[in-house]
Chains A and B, each alone.
Chain A
Amino acid sequence: MKFVDEFRDADTAHALAARIVALCEPGRQYKLMEVCGGHTHTIYKHGLEDYLPEQVTLVHGPGCPVCVIPMGRVDDAMALASEPDVIMTSFGDMMRVPGSNGSFFDAKARGTDIRMVYSPLDSLKIARQNPGKRVVFMAIGFETTAPSTAMTLLRAAAEGLKNFSIFCNHVTIIPAIKAILDSPDLRLDGFIGPGHVSTVIGCRPYEFIARDYGKPVVVAGFEPLDILQSIYLLMLQLSRGQAEIENQYSRVVPWDGNAVALRAIGQTMELRPYFEWRGLGFISHSALKVREEYAQFDAETLFSVPGVRVADPKACQCGEVLKGVLKPWECKVFGTACTPETPIGTCMVSPEGACAAYYNYGRLTRQRVKEASTS
């Protein structure tokens, strides 16, 4: 398939892998974080880690938008959804994220009207078709999806819709990266920068990572060769002792981002003083809320949101796993209290989370490592 297969060529991959191996200093371990959940998905889907030498480890970062939503926000959304005449709309991958009283799927089974949409604009359509109902869109995601929520708000305002609102849970990536960088026990050597987010915010916001923390960042595309090349570029910088921001995904990401999208976000949303992240705790200025001018579309204004706070259980060590300090199995509750069926922490929620992946395939990975070391 054109524009896809070129980025999945095994021969090129072998060549890149050989160059990565050549850049490894003997005895040195490299930990690189792919910030974005989309990258984690690509790595997992194409078996990309098979190309990496044992010295290079990928740490799955906090960029999975559904995984970082704290349980309390899911509970709040459920409470909204169960208000009279409400139709809750949500992206598909939010449907299985557990709150303290189950997931959207469970709520749907109990009779709550929750519908899956592909775009927030579909929620507008539902609102138009159901004038007697109050349609709420569960807005989640980083700067990647925030523009489409912003455009939806602008459209709703232009149409003068009276029965549509959003429950805003948009988060921003930079404060999360900063929170990870500020942790005293950080063990990361560099970052594979989030490609989709960067199409909106550009590459400049990452400059502090190189300048203040001395870590290289390579903004990467989502095909497996994109990621492999980005790893190569990071290794090249590390081998030269450099720390710079590079843009591997220049075919899509403009250095200065997308001004129109940023303007739409700025027009409709503003930073919250702080927001809670599953696994990372409260991070200041890390999320967006609807601006007062658009309050008639803000579910948090229209409804009384209970503001449930469900603390991450103390034993949950997602933060450490996210920072690459702990391996999944080293977390105290891993595999007992926290399993893919009953995920307590963010790393277990998505099947591609570090802990879920280890839970499902850890035995096999270990076997493979053993076989590789004996053969």
Chain B
Amino acid sequence: MTAPHGTPASPGWVEEAMRAHEALERTEEEHARRVDDEVPGGATRFEHHGSPQPLPGTVREELVLERIDRARRARPRVKEDRITMSHGAGGKATQTLIEAVFLDTFRNPLLEPLEDAARLHVNGARVAMTTDSYVVKPLFFPGGDIGDLAVNGTVNDLSMAGAVPLYLSAGFILEEGFPVADVARIAASMQAAAIKAGVQVVTGDTKVVEKGKADGCYINTAGLGLIEHGGSLGVAQARPGDVILVSGPIGDHGVTIMLARGELDIEADIASDTAPLNGLVAGLLEAAPGVRALRDATRGGVATILNEIAAAASVGVVVNEDDIPVRQQVRGASELLGIDPMYVACEGRLVAVVSREDADRALAALKAHPQGADAAVIGTVTVGPPGIVQLKTAFGGTRIVDLLVGDPLPRIC
């Protein structure tokens, strides 16, 4: 670790940023002057020949806003030289890492949509394939454990592609010293979840690492499913006028895990929502052909999914806080901890984008299934502003729901 002993005059990154700033200022000034020279009468717009008069306020503000827009469109670049926890939190940092490193390296048309599962054509059949790793702590929590989570998560990723989940792989990374009884308990819970979801674990792998090199047990599962649904689902399919639904109360899993870690001394009667969603999805797709996209709101929560919809389809999204189902316990814990349930993970909830005509049918189909009894329409897709998710607050205001940079951090004040 290179601690900054002594007194650096100015940190390197600030100097670098200042240099970039000066270069940009110069080009913008030059550009403004050129426009000035080229356009007859332009002098009224950019009067800073000779003695540099400041640009008029509105023009300057527009320049600044354009500059920000350009920076947004620029290729994502990982600025950190090491992986931080933010890179795993599902927000902006994760997205940047995926796009700048993984997508850039592996780029192909099947990977590019970055959906929950890839859709493949194999010998005339439409197949969905996905993989996910599970590193939850604690391993056992109210409502489930790492085992059923690992099965349900992968089953759900396949279901969101409109596929019928069939086969799973299971890879275990076990820490030296981990109780065999716990391995057996996790395996049994995986098998129970697999039976419930109607899938089979058909291949696997086991590795053991030295004590301290892993946190008890990590699991990776991959899954294969068959796509029988006719349409092609994807967040890029969202169109203005579509409605957005969630299949039940949000944030249960994330808050359960936070409380189960026991670091907060808060107790609440609440359990993870981990569950397979394939049954719910089958009913939904059958009842409402106008389903355009499905996403399970895991890491990053519903807020992240809404942002993915807005970005992928270049549309706006408006949701109503009053309509978003959140359990009292989750709301209470979130208020206490200073976090927003919109960003908290679920493990058995989906977000659906559905054409307006099919909205009622979709809601009825969700409500008809036990997993979707508390389903609700939470908002609509709008023409614009593109890429922006807005929340009409219960208080009557509007706020923008952005991607988080990293993990939601508790506030002290």
CB contact between A41 and one of B71, B328, B388, B411 (< 8 Å): that residue:
B411
The closest CB in chain A to the CB of B335 belongs to A4
User: Is B406 in contact with A329, judged by CB distance below 8 angstroms?
Assistant: no
Contacts of A100 in B (CB 8 A): 4, 8, 10-14
A-B contact count (CB 8 A): 201
For A13, A105, A340, which residue has the most chain B Cβ atoms within 10 angstroms?
A105
Tell whether B286 is near chain A: CB-to-CB under 8 Å.
Answer: no
Contacts of A341 in B (CB 8 A): 79
User: Is B413 in contact with A50, judged by CB distance below 8 angstroms?
Assistant: no
- A227 to chain B minimum Cβ distance, whole angstroms, is 10
A362 with B406: in contact, given A102-B80, A111-B1 (CB under 8 Å)?
no
For A63, A310, A362, which residue has the most chain B Cβ atoms within 10 angstroms?
A310
Query: In the complex, what distance in Å separates the CA atom of A300 from the CA atom of B149?
Result: 46
The closest CB in chain B to the CB of A338 belongs to B17
The closest CB in chain B to the CB of A307 belongs to B7
A140 with B412: in contact, given A46-B395, A308-B7, A329-B61 (CB under 8 Å)?
yes
User: Is B395 in contact with A363, judged by CB distance below 8 angstroms?
Assistant: no
User: Is B413 in contact with A144, judged by CB distance below 8 angstroms?
Assistant: yes
CB contact between A308 and one of B4, B20, B85 (< 8 Å): that residue:
B4
Tell whether A353 is near chain B: CB-to-CB under 8 Å.
Answer: no
User: Is B385 in contact with A364, judged by CB distance below 8 angstroms?
Assistant: yes
Q: Say which one of A88-96, A258-266, A267-275 lies at the interface with B.
A: A88-96
Mark each residue of chain A from 350 to 369: 1 if its CB lies under 8 Å from any CB of chain B, else 0: 01000000011111101100
Query: In the complex, what distance in Å separates the CA atom of A311 from the CA atom of B7?
Result: 10
Contacts of B7 in A (CB 8 A): 306-309
User: Is A92 in contact with B13, judged by CB distance below 8 angstroms?
Assistant: no
Tell whether A109 is near chain B: CB-to-CB under 8 Å.
Answer: yes
User: Is B411 in contact with A118, judged by CB distance below 8 angstroms?
Assistant: no
Contacts of B331 in A (CB 8 A): 1
User: Is A64 in contact with B413, judged by CB distance below 8 angstroms?
Assistant: yes
Tell whether A177 is near chain B: CB-to-CB under 8 Å.
Answer: no
Contacts of B83 in A (CB 8 A): 109
- A52 to chain B minimum Cβ distance, whole angstroms, is 10
User: Is A44 in contact with B399, judged by CB distance below 8 angstroms?
Assistant: yes
Query: In the complex, what distance in Å separates the CA atom of A307 from the CA atom of B8?
Result: 11
User: Is B17 in contact with A79, judged by CB distance below 8 angstroms?
Assistant: no
Q: Name 25 A/B residue pairs within 8 A (Cβ), A-sorted.
A: A9-B395, A10-B395, A13-B396, A14-B396, A44-B399, A45-B393, A45-B399, A47-B391, A47-B395, A71-B11, A75-B4, A105-B85, A116-B409, A118-B264, A122-B263, A308-B6, A310-B10, A310-B14, A313-B10, A336-B25, A337-B14, A337-B17, A341-B79, A342-B79, A364-B388
Minimum-distance CB pairs A-B, first 10? A47-B397, A100-B11, A337-B21, A336-B21, A10-B396, A92-B409, A337-B17, A46-B395, A109-B82, A50-B397
Q: Which residues of B contact A (CB under 8 A)?
A: 1-14, 17-18, 20-21, 24-25, 57, 60-61, 64-65, 67-69, 71, 79-80, 82-86, 263-264, 328, 331-332, 335, 340, 385, 388, 391-400, 402, 405-406, 409-413
